[in-house]
Structures are given as structure tokens and as C-alpha cells.
Chains A and B, each alone.
Chain A
Amino acid sequence: MCEAHPEIERLGAGVVAVGTGADFQARRLMEQGLRGLVVPFPCLVDPDANLYRVLGIGRVGWSQWLRPDVLARYVRAWRSGARPGRVAGDAHRLSGVAVVDPDRRVRSLHRSATVGDYPPVDDVLAVLRRA
């Protein structure tokens, strides 16, 4: 999402990341970045999973890690240089992506079905391009 941030801004939208981890990890992403890429938008922390409950983003068991599609994503991420750091949040928590209008109306919502199930960036940009 960092790479797409200029286009997202051009489309008139802002971005926030939310994680269940520790605030020092969020600060590090915003100040030092990851693999040379400083996160250009706010990284917030949700230790009580308030947002996850509201959006209906659930949790999974360790068995999900053995799914072939999950392993394939993990290998792909590893080959691209991603290295998981210390898990300070809820490792069982799934992810999600939402687009919310200024009047708080949820325009789109993607709840991941399993680990690493993020929508393609192009799909997210398509939602933002719609008036």
C-alpha cells in the first residue's frame, strides 16, 4: 500500500494502518520504515481489537498456516525480502481493508478469509476511483 500511496492521495483519500501490535513497532514503521520504505501514513494500534470487532474481522488457528495457499504467500513474501519481526500483537488475528467515506458510510469492506488474504491494490484503487 505504501507504493500506491501517492495515487491514493491523488484520488482524494487518506490511509491509516491499524495493527494489534505494540506502539513502538508502529513508531518504527513511521520513523525508520521497513526495508528502506518509511510508511507515509499513520500507523495506529488497536490492542483491544475494537476495530476488528466492529468490522467483523475474526481470528484463525495455527492450522491455517498449513494451507497450501497460505504457505505459497509466505514463500512469495520471503522471496521478496519480507522477514517477520517480533510478534507483539495477536498473531491469530486476520486482516481486512475498508474504505470509509467522510460521513462514516462504509463504501467497501474486505475481510480476509485466511492469513495473508489482502485484496489486490488495483481493486482498492478501483473502489476509490468510483465517485
Chain B
Amino acid sequence: MIDAGDLLPPVELHTATGETIELGAFLERRLLIVALRYYG
């Protein structure tokens, strides 16, 4: 578990079309990550 000030380690997620993607792919600029409870 990390905190503010730490480095985000690689995190594998899936796109909406099912491809695996590492979150760093979106870090070409500052990134706001909204982790929702679920998509309903």
C-alpha cells in the first residue's frame, strides 16, 4: 500500500474493450485517477 509522496508501482488494468494495459500508459501528463466502487 502506498501513500501520497510515494511512487505508483506498475498496475495492470483492462480497457473497456478487454485489453490489458498498464496505468503508466496514461501518465504522459498529470493524471487524476477516480477509483469508483463499481460501474452500475
Contact = CB atoms under 8 A, between A and B. Distances in A.
B3 A109 contact: yes
Nearest to A21: B39
A53 B30 CA distance: 21
A53 B1 contact: yes
B40 A102 contact: no
Contacts of B16: 23, 26-27, 30, 42-45
B22 to A, nearest CB: 10
A42 B26 contact: yes
A102 B33 contact: no
Interface residues of A, number: 61
Chain B residues touching A, majority SS: loop
A89 B37 CA distance: 8
B18 to A, nearest CB: 6
A18 B36 contact: yes
Interface size class of B (residues with CB under 8 A): 35 or more
Given A18-B33, A99-B30, A105 B13 contact: no
A52 B38 contact: no
A75 interface: no
A18 B31 contact: no
Contacts of A27: 16-17
A111 to B, nearest CB: 9
Interface in A80-131: 84-91, 93-109, 115, 124, 128
Contacts of A1: 32, 34
Q: Can you list the 5 inter-chain pairs with the closest CB atoms, starting with the nearest? A: A89-B38, A21-B39, A56-B1, A25-B39, A26-B16
